[in-house]
Every structure is written in C-alpha cells, then in structure tokens.
C-alpha cells in the first residue's frame, strides 16, 4: 500500500498535472508580452465625459463583458477565429478534468493565468478576491461623506489586482 499523501502534496501534484496538460493542449502564449484579455471593464465619468477601459479609475462602475464567439448565424457556416477555437478547447479541457481538479472552466482559466505568477502574487490575488466584493458592497451602501474614501480604497485595490495580472 503506497504511503498517504498530505493535502499540500496532493494539491501540488494536481497543479503540476494541470499545468503540464495545459501546456500540451494549448499553443504557447508565453512568447507574447500582452496580458490576457480582460472581461472586466470599467465605466468612468470624468468632468461629464464617459469612458470605458479595462484599467480601473476612481469611482468607476464595474462591468462584466462577454465577448462574441463568432458570426455563425450570419453566413450559415461556422466561422471561428483562432482565439475562439482555443477558448472552446480550453473550456472542453477544463470540463474533462473537472472530476480531478474540482474547477469549472472559469476557475480553471483563473488558475492557469495565475499559475505563472510568483507565490506571493498568487497569495495577494487570493486575498484581493475575497476583499474586493466586500469593498464593492461598502461602496454601494456608502453615504456621501464616506463615499470618496471607500471609492479611493476600491480604486487602489482594483489597480493592484490589475497590476498583478490576477
């Protein structure tokens, strides 16, 4: 009977398998210096002008954007770009290994993106994952005197989240 593995060893083993499988199943993107496309957009109003950006700003409204996945219905033929085909492939892969990893496609995408970060950055991302929703709720319920302070804290946290590439 093989010796029992600790939870930490098991997690490291699963992480190594997932990372190896991800590298084998998708083209290498590490050669590109561009960050992964963000599905989080921010609507900013400054001096009566509204702008939309993937970088946070003070007092921004957070928007979740779902990009289109091809123009199949217009031509009658399925026409997919490489990015959409790769995204579908990653989603299918995530579903296939879900019994092993316990992660859905969105969780797997986050895991894959953060795997290349340093351990301290990964810890900070997990902390921000827990703190950001709390501060966002505070912003929704804040009254005018405290609103600016809450928005400033939220901006700094969102900026750090963006800078870390969480």
Range of the domain at 77: 1-34+68-116
pTM beyond 0.75, yes or no: no
- The 3-class secondary structure across 85-147, one letter per residue, is HHHHHHHHHHHHCHHHHCCCHHHHHHHHHHHCCCHHHHHHHHHHHHHHHHHHHHHHHCCHHHH
Nearest to 117, CA basis, from 57, 160, 67? 160
**42, burial (CB in 10 Å: exposed 0-12, middle 13-18, buried 19+):** buried
Query: Which phi and psi angles does 5 have, rounded to 5°?
Result: -95, 150
What is the per-residue pLDDT for 65? 79
Is 152 part of any domain?
A: no
b/e code 11-40 from CB counts within 10 Å (16+ = b):
eeeeeeebeeebeeeeeeeeeeeeeeeeee
Tens-of-pLDDT digits for all 166 residues of the chain? 445 555 555 555 565 555 555 554 444 444 344 445 567 889 988 888 998 888 888 888 888 877 776 666 666 677 777 878 888 899 999 999 999 999 999 899 999 989 999 999 999 999 999 999 999 999 999 888 889 999 999 999 999 999 999 9
What is the per-residue pLDDT for 125? 96
Is 30 part of any domain?
A: yes
Is 131 part of any domain?
A: no
What is the per-residue pLDDT for 64? 81
| Total tally of structural domains belonging to the chain | 1
Is 79 part of any domain?
A: yes
Is 25 part of any domain?
A: yes
Q: Which tens digits make up the pLDDT trace of 74-94?
A: 666 777 778 788 888 999 999
What is the per-residue pLDDT for 46? 84
What is the per-residue pLDDT for 59? 87
Is 136 part of any domain?
A: no
What is the per-residue pLDDT for 27? 45
Nearest to 19, CA basis, from 30, 31, 8? 30
């Amino acid at each position: 009977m093989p010796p029992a593995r600790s939870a930490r060893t098991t997690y490291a083993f699963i992480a190594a398998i997932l990372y190896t499988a991800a590298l084998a199943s998708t083209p290498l993107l590490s050669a590109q210096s561009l960050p992964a496309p963000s599905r989080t957009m921010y609507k900013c109003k400054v001096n009566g002008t509204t702008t939309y950006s993937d970088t946070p700003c003070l007092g921004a409204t957070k928007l979740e954007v779902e990009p289109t996945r091809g123009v199949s219905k217009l031509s009658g033929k399925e026409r997919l770009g490489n990015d959409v085909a790769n995204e579908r492939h990653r989603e299918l892969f995530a579903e296939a290994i879900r019994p092993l990893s316990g992660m859905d496609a969105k969780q797997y995408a986050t895991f894959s993106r953060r795997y290349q970060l340093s351990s301290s950055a990964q810890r900070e991302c997990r902390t921000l994952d827990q703190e950001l929703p709390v501060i966002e709720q505070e912003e929704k319920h804040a009254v005018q005197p405290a609103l600016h302070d809450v928005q400033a804290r939220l901006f700094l946290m969102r900026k750090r989240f963006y800078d870390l590439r969480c």
